[in-house]
Structure 1
Amino acid sequence: MPDRNLEFGKFGARGIKGYEAAARQLDALAGFIATPVTQRRGMLARLNYLTRSERARAAARAAGLTVTDRTLKRWADGRATPSKKSLAQLETAYRQVRRQNVTRHLLQRLNRDGRGTRVEFHPLNQSGVPRPRQRDVSFRSLNVRQWDRMVQAWAAGDEEAMDAAWFDGITADLGSDYGSYEYVMNIGFAA
């Protein structure tokens, strides 16, 4: 039974944690605002998203946006410019609120009433590993039917829970070599 890699990359393998690749795909499915927060258009789009209702404002406050409503209005009117720290806070709050808002939709989309979603596992890059130390790891695909743990952990921003959901939930269905997919080059969803 494979176990977690303690010294990944020691012999030259390259890749990222599988849950990080899955989180990137979930971020892509969430449809974040493409314009950076440092541009006025991107800042205004995020402000509109976070202040369009009382519920949105409350979620933004819970996500860590600490500036006053008066300051938010001044930013929107162009009478004040947010600092770098405030822009970072705005971006963090926006991403957290957006993740919470799309969680239910993503679960429906990925679980598909029990049919699940096809996931492609692109194995880690072993081109820098000496031939006798290379593992036999190949491209795999799997239909994942239960996304609840992974999506909930992603929405909460809990990396430990995402790692546990990835390792114990998603890759466990790959069979006896599930530990070989702790690190990957990429993950693809058919969602």
Structure 2
Amino acid sequence: MDNIAELEKKLTRKGEVSIVGCGRLGVRVAFDLLEVHRGGPKKVYLFDNAKIAENDIVHRRLGGKIGEYKVKFVERFFGDRVVGITENINEDNLHLLTGDVVIICIAGGDTIPTTRAIIDYAKKRGIKTIGTNGVFGIEENIKVCDAKYAKGPAQFLNLDKEGHIVVGTGKFIRDLEPITPYTLDEIAKKIVIECLKVLNKIK
């Protein structure tokens, strides 16, 4: 039987991850990913220029303070494993993205152009991308698929090649269903699983 101590030494953190957006979903993904034990990323870069407001319940429940930058709260919580960057990623600052995986958790308004720009930038650099495909719905099965074949909001990315993984309910805002914490928890869980699959392949 293999020596347990030797096996434990092999289970180390690998790679780096950029998370774009630290809202209700992004903060869940960050915490879940950083909580992974004997694995997970060495470093997480978190991008968002928003501050914690009174209605940011999940941030406050985790220990964030009203008025504190969301990314700086996560950085404060996890120390040197996180770099919190108080900027929103857009087509002018894509060069800030780094690592082996980019997780896109942006919301509000038309996010398609920014998401598409991130995917194109990352693909040229061999960086894997994971995003969402609808977060609305009361009692939904969360689906994981390649965005090229997605039914739901991600279909409007109009991607002609495989490689961008999306996770979500497939529902739109026009379906007039709320975004629930338990749906976000499940989406975050599956995003983290997809990310770990990429990180585990790093030598």
Class of the TM-score when normalised by the shorter of the 2 chains: under 0.3
TM superposition score normalised by structure 2 = 0.21
Higher helix share: 1
- The structure showing larger relative contact order (alpha-carbon pairs under 8 Å, at least 6 residues apart) is 1
Higher strand share: 2
Larger radius of gyration: 1
